[in-house]
Amino acid sequence: MLLATVAWAQPKTIDKIVAQVGENIILQSEIETIYYQEASNGTVSADLRCLIMEQLITQKLLLIQAQKDSVEVTDEQVEYELERRLRYYESLFGSKEKMEEFYGKTFQEMKEEFREDIRDILLSDRMKGQIAGDITISPSEVRAFFNKIPTDSLPYFDAEVEYAQIAIVPQPTAEQKAYAREKAEGIRQRILDGDDFELLASIYSEDPGSKEIGGDLGCQTRGTFVTEFDAAAFKLQPGEISEVVATQFGYHIIRLESRQGNTACLKHILITPPVTNSNIQLATKKLDSIRAAIISGTLSFREAAAKYSDDEGSNLVGGDVTNFQNGGSMFAIDELDPEVYYAIEKLDPGEVSEIISYTSYDGKRGLRIVQLKSQSDPHRANLEDDYYRMQAAAKNEKQMQILSDWVERKLKSAYLKIDPIYDGCENIQELMRVANDVGRK
C-alpha cells in the first residue's frame, strides 16, 4: 500500500484542504508528498493521485474508528518505527551526515516532523488488522487466485533471499551507568551555577540530532517522547532545569523553554554510558556461544532469537527480518545491507553466518549472526516455488475486499467532502456516490 511509506522530502506546493472525512482533513501537500515519493521510484500511473486520495480517505476512516474503539499505540512503538525507517534511509545514503545534508534537516528534526504521520500509520494498520486481519486462506483459494492470473501477466521475480538474525547490543556495566549519571549530574550542576546550557550541550551531549543546535528539540506535544522523559519535561516551569532523567537512551538534563497547554519547547543534554572493548568482548563471547549451540543442534535459531536477541523488531518472530519496502520477508539482493549480503553470500539455506556488525533501531552499535532461511533464482511465478507468495497475495486480496466492504459501510454514516479537482477520478466519484446514497435510503 502506498501509505506504508513516509516521504522525507518533496517539492514545495501551495497547500489547501482537498478533502474532509468527518472532522479529519486531507491536505494537497499530503497527496503530493506521497506522489513524489512514488514518482522517485520510477514511472507512475496517470491516476496515482486518485489512488492516493482513496487510500488517505480510508486511513482517515480507520483513524476515526480507532479513536471510537480506544485503539492505541505506545510512544515506544512510534519511536521504534521512526528509528527503523530513518535507519533504513540512512543506510541508503551511507551515513547520517549525508542524509541530513541532502534533506537539509537534522536527524531529530526529521523524526519530529514525521512522528504524528508514523503514529497515524501504526494506528490505522492496527485498526485494519482488527477489521480484516483474522482471516485464513485455503489451498483451493490460493490455486483459484493463481489460475485467474493470465500467463503473460504472471510476475517475474529476481533472485531473492529470506533471512533471520540474532542481535546482541553490548550492555554497560553498573559502574559505567554510574559514571554516566555522575557525569550528567556534574553538567547539571555547572548549568545551575551559571554555565551556558547550549554551549555545554554542543560540547557534551551525545544526541547527534540536537547536539549541534544547542540541544534544541523544538516544540513537541505531550506523548512525543518516551514516558520517563515526557513525565519529567511536562513538570517543569519555563527556564527550569530538570533533575537527571534516566531513559533507555541514557541520562538526560532537560530545560523547558516555554509551554502552551500540551505543547512544550525543550532543550536537552544526553549522556550515554560508555561502551568499551570489554563490553564488546563480552557480547562477542555471548553471541559466539549462542551460535555454537545453534550449529550443534542443542538450540534452534528461532528459540535463540526469542530468548537472547536484542532486536525488538524480530525477536518476537523467531528472528525473522521484515523487508521495510514491501512488508514481506523476501529481499532482492540490492535491498540487503552490504554486511548481510557478504555474510550470507556463500551460505546454504539453514546455515548461520559468522558474527557481523549491527546497528539497533535507536542507533546503538552491536553484533549479530544471520541465518539464510531461503533463496530463489530469477524466475516467473509458479505455485511450486512461490506458493507462499501467492498465498499472501490471495490473502491480501481477500483482506482488501473485506476492508473495501467496511469502508463502504462507514461512508454511509460519515461526512465526506472532496475538492472538485478530483471529479475526474472514477474511484473517488464512486466513494462520493456511496456516501451520498444514504440520504436516499
Task: Output the domain CATH number for residue 348.
Answer: 3.10.50.40
38 grid coordinates: 512514488
**To which H or E segment does residue 374 belong?**
strand 365-376
346: left (phi over 0), alpha (psi -120 to 50) or beta: alpha
Q: How confident is the model at residue 6 (pLDDT cuts 50, 70, 90)?
A: low
- In which residue are the cell numbers 530463489 written? 376
Output the CA angle 116-214-189, nearest 5 degrees: 115
The string of pLDDT tens digits covering residues 246-300 is 998 899 999 999 998 888 999 999 999 988 889 999 999 999 999 999 999 999 9
Domain that holds residue 257: 174-271
Q: Is residue 55 part of a domain?
A: yes
pLDDT number for residue 99: 84
Average pLDDT on 337-349 reads: 92
Q: Is residue 149 part of a domain?
A: no
If asked whether residues 11 and 134 sit together in one domain, one would say yes
- In which residue are the cell numbers 514491501 written? 326
Q: CA distances (Å), 55 to each of 2, 10, 127, 323, in order?
A: 8, 19, 14, 21
Count of domains observed in the chain? 3
In sequence order, what are the residues at sequence separation of 6 or more whose Cβ sits closer than 8 angstroms to the Cβ of residue 288? Answer: 355
Average pLDDT on 35-50 reads: 83
| Measured distance CA(342)–CA(360) in Å, rounded | 19
169 grid coordinates: 547490543
Q: Is the pLDDT of residue 107 over 60?
A: yes
Q: Is residue 219 part of a domain?
A: yes
pLDDT number for residue 335: 87
| Measured distance CA(111)–CA(108) in Å, rounded | 5
Average pLDDT on 148-154 reads: 94
pLDDT number for residue 173: 92
If asked whether residues 295 and 418 sit together in one domain, one would say no
